[in-house]
Amino acid sequence: MGWDLAEMALEIMRPHTTSGREWLIEDFLVERLKEAGLEVKLQEVPGVGDNIIAQRGEGGFLIVTHTDVYPYLTPEIQEPRVEDGVLFGRGAVDTKGQIAALLLALKESKGPVSVALVVDEELEGRGSRLLEVPPGCRGAVVLEPTELAICTAEAGTLEVRVVTRGREAHGSTPWAGDNAVEKAIRLYNKLLGASFLKHRHPLFPRGAWVNIGRIEGGHDAMVVPSACSMHLEIGFAPGLSAGAVEDEVEEILAEAETMEVLDFSPPWETPPDAVVIPALEEAFRRATGREARRAGMPSWTDGANLHKKGLPTVVFGAGKLEVAHTPWESIPLAELGELALVLRALIDAR
């Protein structure tokens, strides 16, 4: 097999590498990294698998992305394929297509670079949390779908599960019961009036937002439901106190039977004078002839853990975030080709 972008992407995408199954593409990726002239080692991540860490020379940037795919969709996405120049299938944009573009850039470049292909991003982020950052890295570029915008900030997230309780009654006499689903909906609407939703940030069109990912309650139209569970994700841009957001959410949802915080990650922002930002902007300019656009990343990425390690970090990649985690996940191969050109220019920058 050669170094054709589409062929590499399809080869990486065919194994269904949910967290714990990343080993299915490990040998292929290690072989390709070695063929591109990088020294490769594996770092064990207990309970999951191995991070793949590769390096060529010293003093370059660290390029990071993940090898697992989103696990929760049913039925399974169809076999990966290319139609009319578009790559379709699980991982096309998140992030196996990005990996294929990176491999091509590594093969066609000679400069110093470090690479980390990490496990478990879609579940607990254990791969990047435990990542051993190669010494001498000048900053990090995390490959995720950003439509080739350079994201110098990332939103915080608060994930909660809310349970409301009511009292059953015959469905034809709802006034005699206490509807738990209606209680949950009232709490959601109350949450939409939270003060933190008025927050704004120059890199985020919406400063904060709420998504109901799952709501379930009751079992038949002829019975007033006595219980309802609601699973929410709340996102918020830098500039808000993470603790203050959590406190306000808890206050608003205080009427619920229970409120459980499932995950909590504060927002982060890389200082504007970090060398990785102008370096990537210049690489983008040389590779495309256009000026790069800056934006904010609304979703959690491995960049959060790199930021915690003190490494100046940006999030950057091809494709639209909105199609990730969906049955129609896809990305034009032309965008991946452009990503490969930008990464090559970044690696070979003098």
Q: Transcribe 67-122 into DSSP letters.
A: -------SSPPPPPEEETTEEESTTTTTTHHHHHHHHHHHHT--S-EEEEEES-TT
Tokens read off for 253: 């949802």
pLDDT for res 75 = 63
Specify the domain boundaries for CATH 3.40.630.10 within the chain.
5-154+268-347
Nearest 5°: the CA angle 247, 301, 342 is: 145
Residues 151, 329 contacting (CB under 8 angstroms): no
DSSP 19: T
Which one-letter DSSP state was computed for residue 322?
A: G
- Give the closest residue to 97 by CA, choosing from 336, 324, 340: 336
Please tell me the total number of residues recorded for the chain in this structure.
350
With residues binned 3-state (H G I as helix, E B as strand, rest as coil), the percentages for the chain, rounded to 5, are 30, 30, 40
Cα–Cα distance measured from residue 146 to residue 168, given in angstroms and rounded to the nearest whole number: 47
DSSP states of 20-62 as a string?
T-GGGGHHHHHHHHHHTT-EEEEEEETTTEEEEEEEESSS--E
The per-residue pLDDT for 1 is 58
Residue among 342, 340, 347 at smallest CA distance from 289: 342
- Mean pLDDT, contiguous 10-residue spans, the chain (350 residues): 90 94 97 97 96 95 97 74 96 97 98 97 96 93 98 97 97 96 96 96 95 95 96 96 92 95 95 96 98 97 97 98 94 98 95
Upstream peptide bond of 95 is cis (omega within 30 degrees of 0):
yes
Angle, CA of 270, 287 and 328, to the nearest 5°: 75
246 φ, ψ (degrees, to nearest 5): -60, -40
Residue 34: what residue type?
A: K
Tally Cβ neighbours within 10 Å of residue 251.
9
Other CB atoms within 10 Å distance of the CB of residue 138: 16
The two structure tokens encoding residue 317: 């990649």
CB contact at 8 A, 317 and 339: yes
Beta-ladder partners of 236: 156, 208
pLDDT at 241: 86
Stated as kind and residue range, the H or E segment containing 319 is none
Give the single-character DSSP code of 220.
-
CA distance from start to end of the chain = 32
Q: How many of the other CB atoms lie within 10 Å of CB of 344?
A: 23
Which residues sit opposite 136 in a β-bridge?
none
Instruction: Report the top-level CATH class of 156-265.
Output: alpha beta
Tokens encoding 319: 């494709």
pLDDT value of residue 350: 72
pTM: 0.94
Q: What is the fold, at CATH topology level, of the domain defined by 5-154+268-347?
A: Aminopeptidase (3.40.630)
Q: Three-class SS of residue 308?
A: helix
Residue 132 burial (10 A CB sphere; 0-12, 13-18, 19+): exposed
Count the alpha carbons within 13 Å of 94 in the hemisphere toward its beta carbon. Answer: 23
Question: Where do the CATH 3.30.70.360 domains begin and end in the chain?
Answer: 156-265
